[in-house]
Structure 1
Amino acid sequence: MKHELIPLTDEERWCRALDGMATPLAHSHAYCKALSLSVEYELFLYRCDGDGGKAVCPLGVRRLSATAPPELFSPYGSGGFVTTWPSNKGHSFFAEWTDFCRREGFATAYIVQNPAIELPTDMVHEFEEQPQVVYLLDLTPPLKDMFSSLNKTHRYEIRKVDRDHTVTIAHSTPVLHEAFLELYPQTMQRVGASDCYDFSRETLKAFLEIPEMVPVGVIVGGKVEAVSLFILPEGNGRGDCNVMEYFLSASTSAGRKYSRNIIWNALEMQKKRGAGLLNLGGGVAPGDGLDRFKQRFNAVPCNLKALKQVVLSTEYKQLCLSAGVDSNSQDGYFPPYWKNRKSSTR
């Protein structure tokens, strides 16, 4: 098998590697370039060719210090591996992958798999189930059946707003773009969001310039009260990936109540265009208010799965020792010395 890491600076090779594959937007050069405007780590596209197929995966490369060995991890977004192999190729791939990581000097690898992307059976066995839950909503049933299956509070609130003639739901207008740029940092500060959501204005603007990244918002009395960004599953040569994603949201304090209508309006629009699945994401913590809000759409809970791999055991133990953490820690955070470090995601 042939392995390579394609740098963000080589846009042509990056796009060529994805040609014909059904990949999520998080794999695209445009998405990763936008993300790079907010982070300190380097971004690459991993590609493996051989045995009649290939695999691709967006990767970040970080170091605990200037002299520490590099480590691989999943950048923000619904990434992970996408392959074209049948189910019996996964086992041989991971042996090759581990050898590649060892040759390149990567101490660890932490890859979070997109829950909407199926992997060959042998590859799935290498991933550990995580406590984090995301919600996947099937968009194939008739719309009236989907609405009937919503939690009764969701149904009531959606109908209530629909009857309010002062409320307008808009898509992809310049006023939504400007409002999102202003409201997003205010919202993140108000809710005390994690560092991983701390995107620069340049990144947000670049996201809005991606054709598949569509803002849907609520305007009340001429004022934008809420805007959400959805990733739409169409266009630009990304194969037949038909998964829609509820990506980022921003609102005024009063505008939070319109989230149900924004999601329902966006899924209704994309259902008509053939989207088969909506990834709603999850809560900040299992069972919190945001988690329950998404569950009430009658979405199916799905535990995230991650590859947690120690490639260079001696170097890994030394990194743990230097940070004062147990190299045998089973508390779920991997690698344990990155916990509570802002640079782990920036």
Structure 2
Amino acid sequence: MKLQIFTTQQTDKWYEVLECFDSTDIYFFPEYHRAYELNGDGVAYAFVAQDGEHIWFYPFFVRPIKQVGSRVIDEPWYDIETVYGYSGPLSTTKDQGFLTKVQAAFSHWCQDNQIIAEFIRFHPLLENYQYVDQSCQIVPNRETVVISLKESEQDLWTNYPSVHRNMINKAIKKGLVCAESSTPESLEAFQQLYGKTMKLLGAIPYYYFCEPYFNYLWSNLAQAVKLFTVKYEGQIVSAGLFLQHGDCIHYHLAGSDVNYRSFAPNNLLLHTVAMWGQKNGFRWLHLGGGRTTDPKDDLFRFKASLSKVYLPFYIGRRIHSAAIYEKLCGIWMSQQNLIEQPKYFLLYRLT
């Protein structure tokens, strides 16, 4: 078996491997991973295994474990997490013999590099949880919402739940206008709206994302990143950043002015993107899930009011060094005065 490791600087080799697969997505691109390196998510790698005609490709971040609670960790230990969004492995085959052989080789690589555990976000549309073996625990996490763009514009409108149609009509009657925008001023306005939205929601610092992250996405994935804005009397009151590749558009990040939320700008935003996607040959508008796993989550309920087509989102958990993993979890538990270990993966990363 031939094994290779690529970094985000080796874009040509990274893309050469991606071309071997019938279905990929922007979440697997080296530039997308580079944006998150700039955001401080760790060092991105792509692990490639080839055995004859079969190929397995897996991009991820390696993150140092510098601290558990209040205790500084001096040992060079690391863990793995896939990029924000939906990625995981790709494979040219589902052959279990090949996948088991690959997983064993990958686990050996992890152990050689002091990587103790691994957290995977699988891709709902690609169903790539099929490309791991039994050494990986696959867990249903939440439902994600998708709008089908495969039919006519009239079918799109008819298939909407009535509440969504009513809100779109309300936005139009209020005088809201939505369109794609690619100006630096629009991107700056989006970042400001997004930041205010995160602050209003009480989001943890990670979800604000740094300015180099936005600038890098905008500059290096310009063909795949689309910004749509909703204006009222010339003022941007809602905006969304969307990712496109293949036959799918992903609802990535969004922000809105709370003072105009009753005007239903987000309903108009997503309807406009759906019509744009339909006209440009896309098959799916993937809205994603809620902020939490709770079916009553406000964001999920909003998305579910737009479509009743759901796709399950799975996560994967794998421990490569059980002794060190338990040791780190034990350090965290002792600081919390806990005896029974909570059912939370990568427990030692909790603050």
**Take 2:340 and 2:103, find their aligned partners in 1: how far apart are those partners?**
22
User: In the alignment, which residue of structure 2 is the partner of 1:227?
Assistant: 239
User: In the alignment, which residue of structure 1 is the partner of 2:91?
Assistant: 83
Tell me the TM-score normalized by structure 1: 0.87
Mapping 1:243-258, distance limit 5 Å: 243-256=248-261, 257-258=264-265
Cα deviation, 1:40-94, whole Å, max 9, x if unaligned, reads: 5212222222241222222111122242411111121221112222454434332
Q: SS of the residue aligned with 1:108?
A: strand
User: In the alignment, which residue of structure 2 is the partner of 1:236?
Assistant: none
Please tell me the residue identity of whatever aligns with 1:208.
W
**Take 1:30 and 1:9, find their aligned partners in 2: how far apart are those partners?**
9
User: In the alignment, which residue of structure 1 is the partner of 2:207?
Assistant: 197
**Take 2:250 and 2:150, find their aligned partners in 1: how far apart are those partners?**
15
Contact 1:90 1:120 in 2 (8 A): no
Mapping 1:235-246, distance limit 5 Å: 241-246=246-251
Contact 1:135 1:279 in 2 (8 A): yes
User: In the alignment, which residue of structure 2 is the partner of 1:26?
Assistant: 27
User: In the alignment, which residue of structure 2 is the partner of 1:339?
Assistant: 350
Contact 2:137 2:318 in 1 (8 A): no
User: In the alignment, which residue of structure 2 is the partner of 1:41?
Assistant: 42
User: In the alignment, which residue of structure 2 is the partner of 1:280?
Assistant: 287
Contact 2:333 2:339 in 1 (8 A): no
Cα deviation, 1:75-126, whole Å, max 9, x if unaligned, reads: 2122111222245443433233323323333111111111111338463764
Establish whether residue 264 from structure 1 lines up as the match of residue 271 from structure 2: yes
After TM superposition, give the deviation of residue 10 of structure 1 in Å. 2.9
**Take 1:329 and 1:4, find their aligned partners in 2: how far apart are those partners?**
37
CA 1:183/1:218 → structure 2, altered by over 3 Å: closer, same or farther? Answer: same
Q: SS of the residue aligned with 1:61?
A: strand
User: In the alignment, which residue of structure 1 is the partner of 2:176?
Assistant: 167
Contact 1:181 1:205 in 2 (8 A): no
Mapping 1:90-239, distance limit 5 Å: 90-119=99-128, 121=130, 123=132, 126-164=136-174, 166-174=175-183, 175-209=185-219, 210=221, 211-233=223-245
Aligned residues: 331
Contact 1:87 1:119 in 2 (8 A): no
Contact 2:88 2:121 in 1 (8 A): yes
User: In the alignment, which residue of structure 1 is the partner of 2:63?
Assistant: 62
**Take 1:284 and 1:87, find their aligned partners in 2: how far apart are those partners?**
35
Contact 1:216 1:262 in 2 (8 A): yes
Q: SS of the residue aligned with 1:218?
A: strand
Contact 2:47 2:57 in 1 (8 A): yes
Please tell me the residue identity of whatever aligns with 2:165.
R
Contact 1:230 1:247 in 2 (8 A): yes
Q: SS of the residue aligned with 2:128?
A: coil
Please tell me the residue identity of whatever aligns with 1:37.
L
Q: SS of the residue aligned with 1:107?
A: strand
Q: SS of the residue aligned with 1:48?
A: strand
Over aligned residue pairs, what C-alpha RMSD do you find? 2.4
**Take 2:53 and 2:28, find their aligned partners in 1: how far apart are those partners?**
21
After TM superposition, give the deviation of residue 330 of structure 1 in Å. 5.9
**Take 1:107 and 1:62, find their aligned partners in 2: how far apart are those partners?**
11
After TM superposition, give the deviation of residue 329 of structure 1 in Å. 4.2
User: In the alignment, which residue of structure 1 is the partner of 2:313?
Assistant: 304
Cα deviation, 1:236-258, whole Å, max 9, x if unaligned, reads: xxxxx322100000121134431
Tell me the TM-score normalized by structure 2: 0.85
Q: SS of the residue aligned with 1:31?
A: helix
Please tell me the residue identity of whatever aligns with 1:221.
E
After TM superposition, give the deviation of residue 161 of structure 1 in Å. 2.1
Cα deviation, 1:243-283, whole Å, max 9, x if unaligned, reads: 21000001211344311111111111112222122221111
After TM superposition, give the deviation of residue 299 of structure 1 in Å. 3.6
Please tell me the residue identity of whatever aligns with 1:72.
I
After TM superposition, give the deviation of residue 215 of structure 1 in Å. 0.4
**Take 2:131 and 2:250, find their aligned partners in 1: how far apart are those partners?**
27
Cα deviation, 1:152-178, whole Å, max 9, x if unaligned, reads: 2211011222344x3221202314222
**Take 1:135 and 1:106, find their aligned partners in 2: how far apart are those partners?**
34
Q: Between the two proteins, what is the percent identity of the paired residues?
A: 20
